[in-house]
C-alpha cells in the first residue's frame, strides 16, 4: 500500500466536495486504491484545508462524512501543511481569485499541483504559474473533466477508428434555460451573472471548449466571438433583484487545425430541443455523429438520406430516424475520478499526463481572446503559449 | 373577368416552370382567377418567353401542358412582346446574369415588374434597378417565397400574438448533405458550387435570410460571416470532376434591431438531425419555438423544464418532449402562388405590396457584405439603402 | 433552538393524526426544526390532548409513535394545559361541534390558535370567534391545505406569470364514486351523509372552494347552488342501512371578481373520467390549463386547434393531445406541513399569515349561502364579513 | 316508384345545401329512394326555392350539382309553387326571421311542413304555428338531428337495455375555442355573436338540449341559466372589429323528470380537454357512460375503481383507463338523412313521427326561459305547452 497525502483546499464548495472529495478521492479509497507500476495500491489520503473562518464548515463536513468514511484530517493552517514534507499533493478548488496564491505557495513548497480551472483570470498570470511549476520541476495538472464524459469518449472512439473520413465541421450547442428567479427560483448561483464577481459565459466555458477542441479535434487557431446579456436583471439566492453585468450567452466560431470549422453556441437563455444539455455534432466526409453527455448517435454515408426541398407536402423523411446509437460497450467511471486516477499514477509512477498547467493556461487564453474579439468585433488569431 | 397578360421569361427552368408557371399562374387560372376590388375576377394570361435558342424547349413545354391547360402563347421575341401595350406584367426567372437586362428593358417599356431573386449580383446594380423602376412609376416586386412557408407563417402568428415575450435570439440551421457525385449522383446543379457561374451559399441564401429576418424579426443591423468550401471537388451532371470554387457553407451571425442575436448556419455538407431542412429556433423570455418548412413546435415558460447537470446518470428529461405542435388551423396555399396573388391584386387594385425591387436589393446587399466580412475577418454594419 | 409547545386536540382522528401530527409536526421535528429570523431553529413540541374518555386511545397512539419519535406528552385535562403559560399554541382538529368551545377557551387563555375547518357550523358563530381572537390580540390561523397542493401551486404559477391572459372561466369537478356499502364496503364515514351529524357536501367542500377561489382567482361575489341526495340509502360502518339526509352532491355556480365565472360540481355519485379526483379547468384569452392534485397541463393559444363540427367522420383531432404537462421544477412538501411551517414562523417571528379565523369564517359563509340558495332557488350575493 | 315533390326553401345556405339537399334528399335519390309500406320506392324530387334576389346563386348551385345529380328544378316564386297541388312538402331552412312567414303560407296551402329549428324567436309564435298546423291537419316536423348522432344512439341503447340502473345525473359539455379573428381568422359566422342578428348561445343551443333531454332522459321540469359574453369584441368575415352583444357561453342546470339533475355548459370560449366537441356524461347507480358525437365509453359498477385521496403521491389510478368503448355494431347514416327518411315515410305511409312543430316549440320555450332565468337570477319552472 502506497499512501499519498493530498491537501484538498476548497472542498467545502459544491464542486470540490461532491466531485473531487466524495466521488473521486473517497471513492478511490472505497475501492481500495488504484494499482501502481510496482504492484502496490496507491491510496490517497485527503487532508481538508480551509481558511480559519471556515473551521466550523469543515468540521460539519467531516462529521457528516465520518459514519461512512471514518475520521478525515483537517487543517486551517495551509502554510504549516505545505511545510510538512509528507503532504505530497496540493489540490485547489477555491475561488479563482484565491487560486493563484495557493498554487504559488505550493509550487514553492515543492508539492505536486492539481487544480480546478480557470487557473487564473489573465493569461499572463496562468502562463507564469505554469512556467514556475515547470522551472520548479513539480508535477502539475488541471481539471479537464469533459474529456472523460461518456459521450465525448464515444466521439473520440469514432475519430480514432476513422469513422468520419475527413472531419469538416463541429457544431456545439451548450446550455439551457436558467430561470430568472422572478416566479421560479433560479437554479444557478447569482455570481455567475456578475462580471465583478468573476462570472460570465466565456470565462466559464471557453476554458472547457479549448481543451475539448484541442484534444479531440485539432488545435484552435482563431476565434470570433459575440457575447450577450440576454436577461439584464435576475433575482439572487435571497430573492433580491440584481443587475446582470456578465455575458449569459456566447456565440463563438473557431477555426481549428485541419481546416475544421467549429461553431459553438453557449447560452443560459435557450430552451433545449436537442439530444442533451451539451451536444456536439461532427460532420465528416464519410459520416456524422451527435454526442451528448453520455450518448452518441451516428449517421454513416450509407445511412445518409437524399432529401428534396418541397414545402408543399409534409417531409417524407423523419430526420431523427436514420441515426443509430453507439452502444455503451464499457462502463464509464465518473469523469473527475478518472482524471484523478491518471494524476495519482502520474505522481507515483511518472506516467504521462498531458493536461498540465500550461494546457490549463490555454483555456484562460481562449476566454480572454473571446472577450477581446467581442469588443473589437473581429477575428483574432490564437498565438502559441510560452 | 379582368384578364391580365403576363410575359413569363425563363420558365423552362425547373423553378420557373414548376413554382411560377404551373403551381402559381396556371393554378390561379384553374381556380377561376382571384377576386378584385371591383368584384371582377382577375385572370392572368401567361405568355411564355424564351431566347430563340430555346424555341424547341418552349414548344415541348407548351405541348406537355396543353391537355390540361389548353394552348399557351409563346414568343422568342422579347422586344416585340414588350412593345405590345396589352402585355402588362413582365416576370423574370432567367439566370441572374441576364436578369438585369430583361428587367431594364421591361421598365423602359412601362411594364409592371416581378422577378426572382437575386435581382443582381452587385448591390449598386440592384439599387439602380429599384430606383429606375420607382422613377418610371412602374409597379414592381421580387419573389420572397419563404415568407409564406407554413412554418414561417406559424412563427409570425406566435410573434403577432406575443407568445415569445421579448425575443432574445434566432438560431437558423439550413441545408443537408449534397452528395459529391462520386458514388451517388448529386442532387443539386453543379453551377451552384462554381463562383464563376454565380454559385455560392452566401449569394444564394443570404438574400432569403435578409427578407425573412427583416420581415419577421427585425432589420439586420450588422453581419459577421465565414464561408467555407468543405468539399473541394465534385462531379457534375455528366459525371465529370470539377473544382468547387464557391462556398458550400456559410456561418453567419447577425445583429438585429431590438437587440436580437441571430446565429445562422447554412451548409451543403451537413447531415440533418433536426426537425426539417430549414429550422429556425426562436427563444424569448416567455417561450420558444422551432419552425420547419411546414410545422412549428413551441415550449412555453409553463412547459420549460428545470434541468440539472449530472453526467453520471442518464438524463431524466427527454428534451424533445415538452414541446407542442402548433396546429394547422388554416390551409396554406403554395407560397409562390400566394405572393403572385398579392402581386396581381397590387397591379390591378393598387393594394399594398412591400416586397419590391428595393427590398430585393437588400438581399443582394447582405450577400455582398457577408462575402466582404469573410474576407476582412470582421463585423460589418449594414448601411441603409438608397 | 427555540422550542414552542403546541397543544394538539383531536389528533386521534385520521386527519389530525396523519396530516397534522405525523406528516407535519413530527416531520418538522425530524428535519431539525425550521429557521427563525434570529437564526435559531424553531422546534415544535407537541402535547397530545384528548377527552378523558379517549385516554386509552391517546396512550395507544403514543406507544405506536414512541420507537421512531420518542416519548410524546399527553393530557386529558385541557383546562389545566391551557392554564400553563409555556404552552403557546392551541391546535384543534376535533369534531366541528366541539371546536367552538375549545377555541373559545384557548383564546381566553391567550394562546395562539390554529384549527381545522369549518371553524363553526354558522357564519355568525365563526365571525364571533374571529373577532374574539382579534380583540384578544392572539395570533390565529385556519387550515387551508388545498392552497399548497402541487397542482394548485402550478396553477398559481401560471397566473403569476400571466400565462392565461384574461381569465374567463373556472370549471371545477370534484368527487368520485363512493360505494353505498351494499355489496362493496363504503370508503367514507357514514356521518358525512347525515345532516344531523354535520354531514353534507356543501358544508364540507364549499369551505375549501371559497379559499381556493378567493386566493387563486378572485373573491366570490355571488352563488347559485343546487344540492342533491342522489343515493337515499347507504349502509354504515357496521353494515346497517341508514337514510341519507345530507346532500351527496352540490352543483354550484359562482361569480368572481374580474368577471370570472366558476362552475363547480362536487359529487360522491360520479364516476371519474378526468385527470384527477379534483380538476380545475381554467380558460383564459391566451391559454387554458387543467390542474389536478399534483399535475397540471396547459394549452396555449399557440397550441389551440381549430376544430370543425362534422359528425359524419371520426374527429381528426385527439383532444387530449395538444396539451402539455407543466414540469415539476421544485419539490413540493406536504401541503399541511407547509402551512404549519408558515404558522410557526408567524407565531415566532410575526411574519405575515393571511389565512386566519376571519378567512376561515368566509368558508362557513359560502356553505351557508349555498344551502340557502338551494332552498330559495335563486342567486345570492356574498356580503362582506365583519 | 312514388315521387314526392319537396319545395326546399333556403338551401343556398351552408346547412340547407350540405345537410338537407346534398347529404339527405340527393343522397336518398342516389340510393334509389326509400321503401314505402306499399312496396313502392318513395323518391323525393327537390324544387329549390329562393327569393328573386337569389336567382343567380340558385342557378350557380344547380349548375354545380348538374354533372352529378342532373338538372334540378328551381323557382323564385314561392306563392306560385305553393299553389301547385303536386308539390306536397314544404321545407324551410331560411333565416329564423323569415321562417314563420314561409311556414304559415305553406300550412295555408295544405302542404306537409318540415323545417329547421328554431321554428320562431318567441314561444307564443312557435306554439301558434304548431296549433295552426294541427288545426289544418297537415303533417309537420322539425329538424332534431342530434337525436341521430351515433354517440347519442349508443347512449339510447344503454338506457333501453337498463345499463345505468337508475340515472342520477347528466353532465353536458359543449363547445370549443372560436378564434376572435384578430390573428387567426374566426371559424364561425359573426352574426352568431350579435343579439340584434338573432345570435346567442342559448337561442342557438337550448333548442337542441331540450329535445335531447326530453327524448333521451326525461322531460325538462325547471331551468337555472347564466349567460356570459366572455369575448366582448371580435373581427368579422371582413376582418372588421365588432362588438359582441350576444352570449357566447351558457351555463345551464336543469331538473328532469325522474329526479335527474343535468348540468350543461355550452361555450365558444373553452379549450377542449375531453373526448369530443360535445360530451354527455351519464351517471347511474349501476354504471356510467360518456358519449361524444360518434363514440361512447362505459364504466360499469364492476369496473368502478375505489380511489383514495392522497395528494402526497402520484395517483396510482389512471382515470381514463377502466372505461370501455361501446362497439359500433351498426352503420350510422347521416343524422339529417335519417330524420328525412322518417318524415317522408310519415307523409306517405302515416307512420308515427313525434318530432313535430309542437316539439319544436319546446326548444324555443327553453331558450326563452333560459334567458329569463339569467335576467331574473333564479330558477324557473317549465310549464306544459298548449
Query: Tens digit of pLDDT for each residue in B246-281?
Result: 999 999 999 999 999 999 999 999 999 999 999 999
Answer yes or no: do B169 and A311 touch at CB < 8 A: no
Predicted confidence at residue D241, as pLDDT, reads: 97
Mean pLDDT for chain C?
Answer: 95
Q: Which residue in chain A is spatially nearest to C158 when comparing CA positions?
A: A183
What does pLDDT average to in each consecutive run of 10 residues of chain A (386 residues)? 96 90 96 93 96 88 89 95 97 91 97 96 95 98 96 94 96 97 92 92 96 97 98 94 98 98 98 98 97 95 89 90 86 93 97 96 98 98 91
User: In order of start, what are the domains of chain C with their CATH numbers?
Assistant: 2-145+334-356 (3.40.50.720), 146-330+365-380 (3.30.360.10)
From residue D50, give the alpha-carbon distance in Å to each of B244, D12, D16, D74, D103.
70, 8, 12, 8, 14
Question: Which H helix or E strand runs over B224?
Answer: strand B220-228
Alpha-carbon span A90 to A7, nearest angstrom: 5
Q: Which residue has the higher pLDDT, C371 or A330?
A: C371
- Classified as helix, coil or strand, D213 is helix
Alpha-carbon span B345 to C70, nearest angstrom: 86
Strand-strand pairing, C380-381 and C220-228:
antiparallel
Q: Residue B271 is nearest to which of A269, A276, A304, comparing CB atoms?
A: A304
Cα of first residue to Cα of last residue in chain B, in angstroms, is: 39
Instruction: Convert the pLDDT of each residue in C308-357 to its tens digit.
Output: 888 888 898 999 998 999 998 888 899 999 999 999 999 999 999 999 99
For the record, the C-alpha cell of A59 comes out as: 468540521
Answer yes or no: do B157 and D185 touch at CB < 8 A: no
Q: Which residue in chain C is spatially nearest to B308 when comparing CA positions?
A: C329
Give the single-character DSSP code of D207: H
Question: Which H helix or E strand runs over B257?
Answer: none
Answer yes or no: do A334 and B312 touch at CB < 8 A: yes
Residues of chain B with C-beta less than 8 angstroms from the C-beta of C306 = 327, 329-330
Beta bridge partners of D280: D172, D291
Instruction: Convert the pLDDT of each residue in B323-339 to its tens digit.
Output: 999 998 888 899 999 99
Percentage of the residues of chain C whose pLDDT score is greater than 90: 86
Give the single-character DSSP code of B237: T
Predicted confidence at residue C309, as pLDDT, reads: 87
Q: How many CB atoms lie within 10 A of CB A3?
A: 13
Instruction: Convert the pLDDT of each residue in C352-366 to its tens digit.
Output: 999 999 999 999 999
User: What pLDDT band is residue B68 in, cutting at 50, 70 and 90?
Assistant: confident
Mutation target among A272, A276, A338, A373 for the B interface, most CBs of B within 10 A: A272
Alpha-carbon span A39 to A44, nearest angstrom: 16
Q: Which residues of B290-321 are buried (b: 16+ CB within 10 A; e: fewer)?
A: bbbbbbbbbbbbbbbbbbeeebeeebebebee
Alpha-carbon span B57 to C156, nearest angstrom: 68
User: Is the pLDDT assigned to residue C15 strictly greater than 90?
Assistant: no
Predicted confidence at residue A179, as pLDDT, reads: 96
Contact A191, A338 (CB under 8 A): no
No. of H helices and E strands in chain B?
Answer: 10, 18
Predicted confidence at residue A331, as pLDDT, reads: 80
Give, in degrees to the nearest 5, the angle at Cα C170 between C167 and C175: 160
Question: Which H helix or E strand runs over D52?
Answer: none
Cα of first residue to Cα of last residue in chain A, in angstroms, is: 39
Beta bridge partners of C228: C249
Contact B223, B369 (CB under 8 A): yes
From residue C379, give the alpha-carbon distance in Å to each of A308, B198, C95, C225.
64, 77, 31, 8
**D interface with B, Cβ–Cβ below 8 Å:** 179, 183-185
Q: Residue D275 is nearest to which of C283, C319, C377, comparing CB atoms?
A: C319
Contact A267, A147 (CB under 8 A): no
Contact A89, A9 (CB under 8 A): no
Predicted confidence at residue D296, as pLDDT, reads: 95
Q: In what order do the strands lie in the sheet with C220-228?
A: C324-325, C296-300, C287-291, C278-284, C167-175, C260-267, C249-256, C220-228, C380-381
Contact D33, D75 (CB under 8 A): no
| Best CA proximity match to D211, nearest among D256, D168, D165 | D256
From residue A292, give the alpha-carbon distance in Å to each of A281, B39, B58, C44, D341.
9, 59, 53, 48, 65
Alpha-carbon span A135 to A138, nearest angstrom: 8
> Secondary structure of chain B: what % helix, strand, coil (to 5)?
40, 25, 35
Is the backbone peptide bond immediately before B118 cis, with ω within 30 degrees of 0?
Answer: yes
| Best CA proximity match to B105, nearest among B77, B142, B75 | B77
Give the single-character DSSP code of D184: S
From the CB coordinates, do chains A and D have 3 or more pairs under 8 Å? no
Alpha-carbon span C32 to C41, nearest angstrom: 7
Residues of chain B with C-beta less than 8 angstroms from the C-beta of D178 = none
Residue C213 neighbours by CB under 8 Å, 6+ apart: C170, C219, C220, C254, C256, C262
Residue C141 neighbours by CB under 8 Å, 6+ apart: C113, C114, C115, C339, C343, C346, C353, C355, C356, C357
**Sign of the C-alpha dihedral computed for residues A270, A274, A279 and A284 taken in this order:** negative
For the residues C96-125, what does the mean pLDDT come to? 95
CA distance D183 to chain B (A): 7
Residues of chain B with C-beta less than 8 angstroms from the C-beta of C287 = 300, 302
- Classified as helix, coil or strand, A244 is coil
Residue A130, CA atoms < 13 Å, CB-side half-sphere? 26
Predicted confidence at residue D198, as pLDDT, reads: 87
Q: Which residue in chain A is spatially nearest to C159 when comparing CA positions?
A: A183
Answer yes or no: do D311 and C226 touch at CB < 8 A: no
Instruction: Convert the pLDDT of each residue in C154-204 to its tens digit.
Output: 999 999 999 999 999 999 999 999 999 988 889 899 999 999 988 999 999
Alpha-carbon span A319 to B279, nearest angstrom: 12
Beta bridge partners of C99: none
Q: For the CA atoms of chain A, what is the radius of gyration? A: 22
DSSP labels, D246-311 = S-SEEEEEEEETTTEEEEEEEESS----SSSSEEEEEEESSEEEEE-SS-EEEEEGGG-------T
Alpha-carbon span B82 to B64, nearest angstrom: 26
pTM score: 0.88
Residues of chain A with C-beta less than 8 angstroms from the C-beta of C161 = 183
Alpha-carbon span B224 to D73, nearest angstrom: 71
Instruction: Convert the pLDDT of each residue in C37-80 to its tens digit.
Output: 888 899 999 999 999 998 999 999 999 999 888 889 999 999 99
For the record, the C-alpha cell of B74 comes out as: 409563346
Q: Which residue in chain D is spatially nearest to B157 when comparing CA positions?
A: D183
Block residue for cell numbers 348538374 = D66
Strand-strand pairing, D140-142 and D112-115:
parallel
DSSP labels, C237-274 = TTS-EEE--S-SEEEEEEEETTTEEEEEEEESS----S
For the record, the C-alpha cell of C2 comes out as: 427555540
For the record, the C-alpha cell of C58 comes out as: 391517546
Contact B103, B90 (CB under 8 A): yes
Alpha-carbon span B324 to C300, nearest angstrom: 9
For the record, the C-alpha cell of A193 comes out as: 451573472
- Classified as helix, coil or strand, A52 is helix
Percentage of the residues of chain B whose pLDDT score is greater than 70: 100
Predicted confidence at residue B47, as pLDDT, reads: 97
Contact D23, D60 (CB under 8 A): no
Strand-strand pairing, B249-256 and B220-228:
antiparallel
pLDDT in tens, chain D (386 residues): 999 999 999 998 888 999 999 999 999 999 999 999 999 999 999 999 999 988 888 988 998 898 889 889 999 999 999 999 999 999 999 988 889 999 999 999 999 999 999 999 899 999 999 999 999 999 999 999 999 999 999 999 999 999 999 999 999 999 999 999 999 999 999 999 999 988 999 999 999 999 999 999 999 999 999 999 999 999 998 899 999 999 999 999 999 999 999 999 999 999 999 999 999 999 999 999 999 999 999 999 988 999 888 888 888 899 999 899 998 877 889 999 999 999 999 999 999 999 999 999 999 999 999 999 999 999 999 999 96
For the residues C254-278, what does the mean pLDDT come to? 98
Q: At what angle do helices A201-216 and A150-160 cross, to 10 degrees?
A: 30
Predicted confidence at residue D361, as pLDDT, reads: 97
Q: Residue A294 is nearest to which of B230, B276, B314, comparing CB atoms?
A: B314
Beta bridge partners of D34: D42
Predicted confidence at residue A312, as pLDDT, reads: 87
Contact D386, D131 (CB under 8 A): yes
Beta bridge partners of B288: B283, B299
Phi, psi at D299, each rounded to 5°? -135, 110
CA distance B22 to chain D (A): 25
Amino acid at each position: 500500500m502506497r499512501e499519498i497525502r493530498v491537501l484538498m483546499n476548497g472542498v467545502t464548495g459544491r464542486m470540490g466536495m461532491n466531485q473531487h472529495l466524495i466521488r473521486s478521492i473517497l471513492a478511490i479509497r472505497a475501492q481500495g486504491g488504484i494499482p501502481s507500476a510496482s504492484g502496490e495500491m496507491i491510496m490517497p489520503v485527503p487532508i481538508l484545508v480551509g481558511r480559519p473562518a471556515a473551521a466550523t464548515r469543515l468540521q460539519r463536513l467531516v462529521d457528516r462524512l465520518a459514519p461512512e468514511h471514518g475520521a478525515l484530517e483537517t487543517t486551517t493552517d495551509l502554510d504549516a501543511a505545505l511545510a510538512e514534507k509528507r503532504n505530497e499533493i496540493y489540490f485547489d478548488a477555491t475561488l479563482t481569485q484565491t487560486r493563484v496564491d495557493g498554487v504559488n505557495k505550493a509550487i514553492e513548497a515543492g508539492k505536486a499541483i492539481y487544480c480546478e480551472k480557470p487557473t487564473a483570470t489573465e493569461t499572463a498570470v496562468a502562463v507564469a504559474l505554469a512556467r514556475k511549476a515547470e522551472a520548479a520541476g513539480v508535477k502539475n495538472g488541471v481539471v479537464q473533466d469533459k474529456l472523460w464524459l461518456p459521450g465525448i469518449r464515444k466521439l473520440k472512439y469514432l475519430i480514432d477508428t476513422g469513422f468520419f473520413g475527413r472531419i469538416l465541421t463541429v457544431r456545439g450547442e451548450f446550455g439551457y434555460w436558467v430561470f430568472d428567479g422572478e416566479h421560479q427560483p433560479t437554479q444557478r448561483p447569482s455570481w455567475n451573472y456578475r462580471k465583478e464577481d468573476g462570472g460570465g459565459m466565456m470565462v466559464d466555458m471557453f476554458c472547457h471548449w479549448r481543451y475539448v477542441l484541442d484534444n479531440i479535434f485539432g488545435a484552435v487557431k482563431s476565434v470570433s466571438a459575440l457575447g450577450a446579456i440576454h436577461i439584464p436583471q435576475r433575482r439572487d439566492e435571497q430573492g433580491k433583484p440584481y443587475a446582470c453585468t456578465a455575458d449569459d450567452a456566447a456565440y463563438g466560431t473557431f477555426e481549428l487545425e485541419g481546416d475544421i470549422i467549429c461553431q459553438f453556441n453557449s447560452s443560459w437563455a435557450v430552451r433545449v430541443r436537442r439530444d442533451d444539455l451539451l451536444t456536439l455534432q461532427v460532420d465528416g466526409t464519410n459520416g456524422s455523429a451527435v454526442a451528448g453527455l453520455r450518448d452518441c448517435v451516428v449517421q454513416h454515408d450509407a445511412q445518409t438520406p437524399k432529401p428534396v426541398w418541397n414545402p408543399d407536402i409534409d417531409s417524407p423523411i423523419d430526420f431523427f430516424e436514420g441515426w443509430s446509437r453507439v452502444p455503451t460497450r464499457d462502463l464509464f467511471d465518473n469523469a473527475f475520478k478518472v482524471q484523478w486516477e491518471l494524476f495519482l499514477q502520474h505522481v507515483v509512477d511518472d506516467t504521462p499526463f498531458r493536461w498540465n498547467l500550461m494546457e490549463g493556461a490555454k483555456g484562460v487564453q481562449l476566454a480572454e481572446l473571446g472577450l477581446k474579439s467581442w469588443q473589437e468585433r473581429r477575428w483574432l488569431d490564437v498565438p502559441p503559449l510560452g
